[in-house]
Amino acid sequence: KEFLEKYESFVVLVSKIYPTEDTLLSVAELKEMLAM
The 10s digit of each residue's pLDDT in 1-36 is: 687 788 788 877 777 776 666 666 677 777 787 777
Which pLDDT score is estimated for 10?
80
Handedness of CA 12, 18, 24, 25 (dihedral sign): negative
Burial (CB count within 10 angstroms: exposed 0-12, middle 13-18, buried 19+), residue 3:
exposed
* Assessment of whether the complete model's pTM goes beyond 0.85: no
Alpha helices of 1-36 — where are they, by DSSP H?
Answer: 2-17, 21-35
State how far the Cα of 33 lies from the Cα of 29, in Å rounded to an integer.
Answer: 6
